[in-house]
Amino acid sequence: MESNLNPVPHPMETNISALFTSPQPHKEFVDDLAMKLHFQYLELKSTPIEIYPPKERWFLSLRRKLQARPILLILSILIAMLVLTGVVYAVGRLSGYIPGFGFTNSSQSVYVLDVPVKQDAGQVIFELTQAVSDDEKTWVKLRVENLPEEPHFSSAYLRLEDGTQFERILGHTEFLDGVSTLAYSFAPLPGENTQLTLVITDLLDSAVEIPFSFRPIRDGEMLPVVELGNYPLYSDAQQGLQLSLDYVAPASDRTVFQVTVHFEQPNTMIIGPWMVSLQDQNGMVYPLTDITPSNVDRNKSALFQTSAFAGNESLILKLRNDMQLENKINIMRDYSPDPGKFMFDFGDNPQPGQVWELDEQVQVGDATLHVVRAELLGGNELSFEFSADPNVTAVILYAEVPGIRSARSRPPVENQNFSSVIGFQQLPMEPFEIQIRSVFRTISGVWQVEWTPPAAPLETSTQLFPTATASTLITPTPTVEIEDALYLEVKRLSDQFDAPYQQGPGWVHIVTEQHSKVKEGQLLPPAYFKTNEWYEVDVDGYIQRSLYTDYTENGTILQQVATIGNYSINFTFGGGGYNETDLRLLSLDRLNESFQHADEYKSEISGEEVDCQDGKHCLLISVKDVLEQPVQESGSEKSISGIVLKVWIDLQTGLQFKYESIYLYDDGSEEVRTTRQVLLVEKVELAPEEVVGILDRVVLP
Amino acid sequence: MTDYSNLEDSQLIANIRQDAKAFDALYHRYLPRLYRYCLQRVGNAHQAEDITAQVFFEVLEKLMNGKYRETGSFPAWLFTIARRRVIDVYREPNPDTLEETISIHPDFSSLMEDRDQQRQLYYLINELDEERKELLRMRFAAELSFEEIAELDGRNPAAVKMAIYRTLDQLRVRWEQLYGK
């Protein structure tokens, strides 16, 4: 078969390069480390003593972050009560609760801004007008003129004279007639710190530093009150977890908001990606784009943008984590300070495959785990099996012996026992203590915030729900002239089937189902799922918009992806971005590419006429790719030597209605790994309202 | 004034005790690659920053105290240290690391067609064994040459090159199995 292939990089290669090279270190980190290294350099130059920080210090910083969460929760709740603005209260009334300031019991501990501070950064003028500090909190308020664009949120911290930094807890932004008002709250300051610097980190290209002074409040002096809006709003706390809607910033064409997850117990976190979904009272979905900046701890908080609102919607914001199971969240709690413990002894001359029957009850926090057996795997790995526990999905083990190499655990399949593996460089010769330091759970509940959003600013837009428009860039699907009889027959059949669906404008609806072999412990994809695809095509058959939904047998959505022009957004996992590909012509043909690249990949393509189900007469196409070297399959003894794609084509309609992916193994065996079948292809004038509604609400970045 | 950004690694190392700018040039040359490698290993930006910082402090101390012997390439030496520090993290039962060791979504790749391809590729790469994953990290995140990876792993450069191509071949096949060619 002849081909004159274009040397365009394979899409996998383009993506792999982007995947590995895109993350860059934060500039703040780069600069901060450069400075620390410089000081270290000077120290080392004056003395050869090793004084670089031990690694424990670095880990400590992470633990501190985790332990700070309950403090944040308390402060957030207090500040949620701030509703009044422009009101002042006399110090004499500080013995009780003061709206806008919380509980304060001693005027001696209250500090206020000594004098307002005005500072320029190029054309931008900052004026720090108010600041208050007491035992409960610290907050500052400033006015900013001539910002190049309307700010949504900004990050800030307070720096004390000794260099200690206090990160912003809450922030509020107002923008009117080109003037912004920014307010930030911080944790209470230690001791009598009167000389501080407010550092605003992401408002301009470089950080803005504004030094200011506190002084003790005077007798009879009035205390200013800051408004941080009606937020945060909190979900009910269930199973020790709470969701908050922290801030909302309406703009003319979009709404930006921040959400945070809070845990009652310290050292707890959600495992795996978490998202929120946004629906109105009628179940209409509002697509969300995750725009969390890199300096926000995504484990804890996330920023999203969605369409602009009229201001009268009743919305429900709901926390999601496990895409397969509705209303379930996977969490992990670290018990390192007080781990569960049990002893284990390899005995003499342990061998791979050796099994030890055990009966150990281990208490970890409020869970009692039952260890039933251990098995020595290859590579000095020891696997412990635990009895099934409805509240525990996995544990991570540790041992205070030299040479711990790895630790891993997998969720159980359904209600079976689960196992946890610990790896050693060398097996301990003496009895040693195994510690259970982390416990993974799946908690059930509904974490949702009911919310009426702010209206988009009226003066800036007349279109509250802008419909994203597709790019007009259209390129035809590249084809290579191939004079192969089989290829020409396959192309004739696919063209025959595609032709009526390419005559737009209209909507094409495709439903498929897929059966797959799944590995032990595999959650996604499930062994069976359906896919519902909606394509809006233009008059020439090019896809303008599409909505792609995978769902389980019982209708639970596994993932949903919308594409507008060449911009795609994954509502389930939060990914989004512009595809490098141009607009595609609607086609159900999956074989064209195989024929196009057959020579390059040395594919063997064959065809035969066969009788199919329902009395259909079919053309069965087989595309066989043989690997240059067998590849060991992960978790298997066998190696894959090749892959065969089988496609059944209905000779009457031309539809490629069934696909099979088959692995060939080096021992001569083969296995069908995936079967996908087309259940429905139809063309309609208009897609259902919920489909069009979702696509209409996609906001292009 | 010397423009250190144009000097070879060995020239920078020779000047480090005399001029802080030599180390600064080395730092900025390798920081992004080291950070990306660490991030790929531990999957968490905070930990990647911690490990990157540790490695640079250790490298600085060794360079200043003459503990670096120029018998091979500097990047191979640098990433040897990085590997050790990553292993230290796995020894620590730190929750941020443990999150990565749990296989919540071991094979999500066949769920999607050609959408959100990088995320799907991430899952395909996760199907690879650790040796192959490490080769990809070394090649693409750390941007090491075949020779430098060979030095790091104590292997023949041709064997490294072949192993990487086979790994890419394996990924390509899996990719095409899922998305077509």
Q: Mark yes or no for CB contact A407/B108 under 8 Å.
A: no
Residues of chain A found within 8 Å of residue B112, distances taken between Cβ atoms:
548, 550, 559, 561
- Taking the CA of residue B20 and the nearest CA in chain A, the distance in Å comes to 7
Residue A519: predicted pLDDT:
64
Statement: residue A126 has pLDDT above 90:
yes
Q: Mark yes or no for CB contact B65/A48 under 8 Å.
A: yes
Cβ(A181)–Cβ(A171) below 8 Å = no
Statement: residue A340 has pLDDT above 90:
yes
Which residue from A37, A272, A674 is facing B60, i.e. has the nearest CB? A37
Statement: residue A443 has pLDDT above 60:
yes
- Which CATH superfamily includes the segment(s) A485-696? Lipoprotein localisation LolA/LolB/LppX (2.50.20.10)
Residue A457: predicted pLDDT:
58
The fraction of chain A above a pLDDT of 70, given in percent, is 72
Single-letter amino acid, residue A663 = Y
Cβ(B122)–Cβ(B107) below 8 Å = no
The neighbour count for residue A504, using CB atoms within 10 Å, is 19
Statement: residue A310 has pLDDT above 70:
yes
Domains A83-223 and A233-327+445-460 share a fold: yes
Residue A579: predicted pLDDT:
61
Q: Mark yes or no for CB contact B103/A271 under 8 Å.
A: no
CATH of domain B104-181: 1.10.10.10
Residue A75: predicted pLDDT:
21
- Chain B interface, best mutation among A6, A10, A16, A413, by max B CB count within 10 A: A16
Closest residue of chain A to B105, computed from CA coordinates: A524
Statement: residue A53 has pLDDT above 70:
no
- Both ends of chain A: CA-CA distance in Å? 44
Restricting to B residues 11-70, those with a Cβ less than 8 Å away from any Cβ of A are 17, 20, 23-24, 27-28, 31-32, 35-36, 39-40, 45-54, 56-58, 60-61, 64-65
Q: Where are the domains of chain B?
A: 1-102, 104-181
- Burial of B46-77, coded b for 16+ CB within 10 Å and e otherwise, reads bbbbbbbbbbbbbbbbebbeeeeeeeebbbbb
Which residue from A336, A516, A519 is facing B93, i.e. has the nearest CB? A336
Joined together, the tokens standing for residue B173 give 């096949």
CA–CA gap between residue A582 and residue A598 (Å, rounded)? 23
pLDDT tens track for A249-288: 766 677 878 888 988 887 788 876 788 989 887 777 888 8
Residue with more model confidence, B175 or A361: A361
Q: Can you tell me the mean pLDDT for A495-516?
A: 91
Helix axes B20-42, A27-46, angle to 10 degrees: 130
Q: Mark yes or no for CB contact A559/B111 under 8 Å.
A: yes
Statement: residue A605 has pLDDT above 80:
yes
- Taking the CA of residue A55 and the nearest CA in chain B, the distance in Å comes to 7
- Taking the CA of residue B98 and the nearest CA in chain A, the distance in Å comes to 7
Q: Mark yes or no for CB contact B105/A272 under 8 Å.
A: yes
CA–CA gap between residue A502 and residue A654 (Å, rounded)? 14
pLDDT tens over chain B, length 181 residues? 567 778 888 888 888 887 778 898 899 899 999 998 988 887 777 788 888 998 998 899 888 877 777 667 899 889 988 988 887 766 544 333 332 333 222 222 223 333 356 656 776 787 787 788 889 999 988 989 888 898 888 888 888 888 888 888 888 877 776 665 5
Q: Of the spans A63-67, A383-387, B108-112, B129-133, which averages the highest pLDDT?
A: A383-387
Q: Mark yes or no for CB contact B116/A550 under 8 Å.
A: no
Joined together, the tokens standing for residue B135 give 């080769």
Q: Where are the domains of chain A?
A: 83-223, 233-327+445-460, 333-444, 485-696
Q: Mark yes or no for CB contact A590/B180 under 8 Å.
A: yes
- Chain B interface, best mutation among A547, A631, A671, by max B CB count within 10 A: A631
Considering the four listed CATH numbers 1.10.3210, 1.20.120, 3.30.200, 2.60.40, the one that applies to the domain covering A83-223 is: 2.60.40
- The beta-carbon contacts of B18-22 under 8 Å, at least 24 apart in sequence, are B20/A38, B20/A41, B20/A42
Architecture in CATH for domain A233-327+445-460: Sandwich (2.60)
CA–CA gap between residue A162 and residue A28 (Å, rounded)? 19
Give every CB contact of residue B151 below 8 A, 6+ residues apart in sequence: B72, B73, B76
Residue B133 at interface with chain A, using a CB cutoff of 8 Å: no
CATH of domain B1-102: 1.10.1740.10
